[in-house]
Structure 1
Amino acid sequence: MKSAARFYQELPVIDSPLAELLLTEDHFHAMPQTRHVVDTDIVNSTLGVNQGLHQEINLIATGSIIAVLNLAAKHATSIPFFFGGDGATFMIPKELLEPVLHALEIHRENTLRNFELELRVGSMQVADLDNYDNEFRMARFHVNEHLDIPIVLGGGLREVERIIKSRVFNSTSQTDNILDLSGMECRWDRIRPPKHKELPCNSILLTDC
């Protein structure tokens, strides 16, 4: 039986073709009701991109991921996440909700101070989805020897993101402003793909069923 705190680590890693995985519902497991979805995104990011700030926006979004993953590593756990270009969505065990929101609040303050861009941060417990009649099931898909990614079935995640973005997250007072972004690199050189070769895509798939 999977523990709620180690839900993602204990999911079986599926290395069958993606099309086959999506047709096999037994590979997908219900998200624990105690999990929290934490969502970050930059307010008016489309306007920022049109003003030439796409690199800064990607950097801020990546920073939120690094901050959360470094925190997860310190607690010897894995947190599934989805990168959205101007933000990210995480499935957080309840034990890490407070420190994750703490770290993201520091990142939000740093973002506003250094880039004058507003990073919106919000959260919602999976149990609250019962009122919206949406499924939320996850599988762990093996991409290559270095990468496994979460695959979600059902409209639950998208509904949670919609609800979170309609709310305003009230930050709590902070006792420090140190944020662990170790391991983060910023490289903006454009690299042309090799001719006549397919490139692997490390994106996350969200499927409404």
Structure 2
Amino acid sequence: MCYLMLMETAAASDPFVASLPVFAKFESVADIDNYRPLPDSWALATADIVGSTKAIEAGRYKTVNMAGASVISALLNALGRQDLPFVFGGDGALVAFPASALEITRNALAAVQRWVADELDLTLRAAIVPIKDIRAQGLDVRVARFQASDAVFYAMFAGGGGSWAEAEMKAGRYRIDPAPAGARPDLTGLSCRWNPIEARHGEIVSIIAIPG
């Protein structure tokens, strides 16, 4: 599993993030009243591995996970922030950030794409999608904070905007191109450790539920 700072380990420093409701009971993730809309001036940085299914079938799931987690590490380190909301999707990631960080985020995405290509022999596509463009489609991006422990918070997203942003990226829109050869992201704090989990009843099943 890949580890990195999860949203924030203390009080959030960003006014918007600090204003987010915090809930400790996981069932509260389904309560839309716990979510707040991202500011119109923010954007979503999204990225994923092209052909990840085939790479995983070829036994490269650890490498795919490392590539996906590197996106979050690269962006948070470049921005000097640990409180930005993000989602790790296994073969990619999504990070919400304010407009003031646009250029730094663009450069970090470009650098991590180059690193994934050069060091992991995978193709990472990336895009930056403005929140205002998402809302123009009648969708939204709302965020909440789930407190998993005294020191760790996870970001939760709702509104359908993240899925739309990912689809736009896969369609080639809002694309960020890789940095020139030799560019490298700051991946300080990223660690991937793997411990096999034994199946107690012969098989392990993962459930992915998408609201209709």
Alignment TM class, shorter chain as reference: 0.7 to 0.9
Following TM superposition, the consecutive aligned residue runs of length 4 or more in structure 1 with deviations greater than 4 angstroms are 172-176, 205-209
Instruction: Determine what percentage of the aligned residue pairs are the same residue.
Output: 26
Aligned pairs for 1:43-192 within 5 A: 43-72=50-79, 74=80, 76=81, 78-167=83-172, 169-171=175-177, 177-192=183-198
Provide the rounded CA distance (Å) in 2 between the counterparts of 1:173 and 1:58: 21
- Displacement of 1:177 in angstroms is 2.5
Q: Is the 8 Å Cα contact of residues 111 and 179 (structure 2) preserved in structure 1?
A: no
- Give structure 1 stretches of 5+ with no counterpart: 196-204
User: Aligned partner of 1:35: which letter?
Assistant: W
Could you say what secondary structure the match of 1:105 adopts? helix
Q: CA RMSD in A?
A: 2.7
SS of the residue 1:106 aligns to: helix
**Aligned residue in 1 for 2:17:** 8
* Letter in structure 2 aligned against 1:82: V
Change (3 A) 1:141 1:173: closer
3-state SS of 1:8 partner: helix
Q: Distance in 2 between matches of 1:71 and 1:170?
A: 16
Distance, in Å, in 2 between the alignment partners of 1:173 and 1:119 is 12
Count of residue correspondences: 191
- Give the corresponding residue for 1:37: 44
Give the aligned residue type for 2:27: A
TM-score (norm 1): 0.79
- CA distance, structure 2, for counterparts of residue 148 and residue 77 of structure 1: 11
| Deviation at residue 158 of structure 1 after TM alignment | 1.3
Paired with 1:117 and 1:21, the residues of 2 have a C-alpha distance of: 34
